[in-house]
Amino acid sequence: MLQVRQVVKSFGRMNAVDGADFAVPQGSITGLIGPNGAGKTTLFNLIAGSLIPDSGTIVFDGQRIDGLTPDRVFHRGLARTFQIPRPFPKMTVLENAMLAPTRQAGEVFWSNWLRPGLVAAQEKANRDRAVEVLGFCGLGSKLSELAGNLSGGQQKLLELARVLMNEPRMILLDEPAAGVNPTLMETLVDKIVALNRRGITFLLIEHNMDLVMRICRPIVVMAQGKVIFEGEAEAVQRDARVLDAYLGDLPA
Ligand SMILES: Nc1ncnc2c1ncn2[C@@H]1O[C@H](COP(=O)(O)OP(=O)(O)OP(=O)(O)O)[C@@H](O)[C@H]1O
């Protein structure tokens, strides 16, 4: 579904991503792991269009997406969440979900004048969908809560709800478990697995190895900008290069 081919991105003299090469199979929950500074977040930014590769190609669903703006990538059906969620804190949970970027006639000035009925109907559909998606994400009882009052884990669920508003075919999840309490983490895992069963492909950056080993197949390991392993969870723990990369990351 997604192919990353020989992608390079430098910041000054530092190759943050240095010829990364791997694939995310359609229908998978692929895990992207690696020590701090391995280049994982930079790679997400390259896939989602926030950064442009110096060289290499990124293909999503058979079409190149490297160099497209984040907005275009999003509209092709590839959505991403952030390590630190960014809801509008002074707006309610429902408003946050309803504001997720979708193609709404109400955003076009003339539609308000010429086809107000259409705008009202779309707004109702948008609201209904937001209620449905928030219910699925376990936030059905928080619709009127200000987003700023949610816990860290609930904000991650809200972010998931926001990306689901646009019915993506693939989601990039940046550290979904970070800062989330164990109960909410189970909820989050259930949602990811349920969405995957409904056909959404995931690429997930995560430092929580239990979570990765439980739900990710295959696993891609990066170190110093390169992909050093691509394969099954069982094999990753026995791979000498992976062990070296992680041990090298520990303070002496
Ligand atoms: N905008 C930038 N300018 C300069 N250097 C950067 C920039 N973004 C990332 N880097 C550097 O690129 C390297 C890769 O960083 P990146 O954040 O992609 O790693 P990571 O694998 O996501 O790490 P972590 O697991 O700690 O989030 C790091 O050495 C980082 O300092």
Query: What is residue 250's predicted lDDT score, i.e. its pLDDT?
Result: 53
Q: Tell how far the Cα of 36 is from the centroid of ligand 1, in angstroms.
A: 8
Kindly list the structural domains of the chain, giving each domain's residue range(s) and its CATH number in brackets, ordered by start: 2-87+150-249 (3.40.50.300)
- Residue in 22, 42, 141, 35 with CA at minimum distance from that of residue 92: 141
Full-prediction pTM beyond 0.90?
no
Query: What is residue 238's predicted lDDT score, i.e. its pLDDT?
Result: 84
* Pairwise CA distance, residues 185 & 76, whole Å: 29
Q: Tell how far the Cα of 225 is from the centroid of ligand 1, in angstroms.
A: 9
What percentage of the chain carries pLDDT values higher than 90?
64
Which ligand 1 atom lies nearest to the CA of residue 222? 21
Give the pocket of ligand 1 (CB within 6 Å).
11, 14, 16, 34, 36-42
What was the ipTM of the complex prediction?
A: 0.93
pLDDT at 102 over 60: yes
Q: What pLDDT, in 10s, does the model give residues 16-29? A: 999 999 999 999 99
Q: Tell how far the Cα of 38 is from the centroid of ligand 1, in angstroms.
A: 7
Query: What is residue 252's predicted lDDT score, i.e. its pLDDT?
Result: 44
Helix (H, G, I), strand (E, B) or coil at 217: strand
Query: What is residue 69's predicted lDDT score, i.e. its pLDDT?
Result: 94
pLDDT at 83 over 60: yes
Query: What is residue 78's predicted lDDT score, i.e. its pLDDT?
Result: 95
Of 30-34, 87-91, 104-108, 112-116, which has the strongest mean pLDDT? 30-34
- Residue in 211, 205, 190, 194 with CA at minimum distance from that of residue 84: 205
61's tokens: 């669903």
Which ligand 1 atom lies nearest to the CA of residue 34? 21
Q: Tell how far the Cα of 109 is from the centroid of ligand 1, in angstroms.
A: 40
Q: What pLDDT, in 10s, does the model give residues 34-64? A: 999 999 999 999 999 999 999 999 999 999 9
Q: Tell how far the Cα of 231 is from the centroid of ligand 1, in angstroms.
A: 24
What would the 3-class secondary structure string for the chain be?
A: CEEEEEEEEEECCEEEEEEEEEEECCCCEEEEECCCCCCHHHHHHHHHCCCCCCEEEEEECCEECCCCCHHHHHHCCEEECCCCCCCCCCCEHHHHHHCCCCCCHHHCHHHHHHCHHHHHHHHHHHHHHHHHHHHHCCCHHHCCCEHHHCCHHHHHHHHHHHHHCCCCCEEEEECCCCCCCHHHHHHHHHHHHHHHHCCCEEEEECCCHHHHHHHCECEEEEECCEEEEEECHHHHCCCHHHHHHHHHHCCC
Query: What is residue 116's predicted lDDT score, i.e. its pLDDT?
Result: 63
Q: What pLDDT, in 10s, does the model give residues 153-205? A: 899 899 999 999 988 999 999 998 888 888 888 888 999 999 999 999 999 99
Which residue has its alpha carbon closest to ligand 1 atom 16? 39
Q: How confident is the model at residue 104 (pLDDT cuts 50, 70, 90)?
A: low
Q: What pLDDT, in 10s, does the model give residues 193-232? A: 999 999 999 999 998 988 999 999 999 999 999 999 999 9
Which residue has its alpha carbon closest to ligand 1 atom 6? 11
Mutate to test the pocket of ligand 1, among 42, 46, 226 (most ligand atoms within 8 A of CB): 42
Q: What is the mean pLDDT of the chain?
A: 88
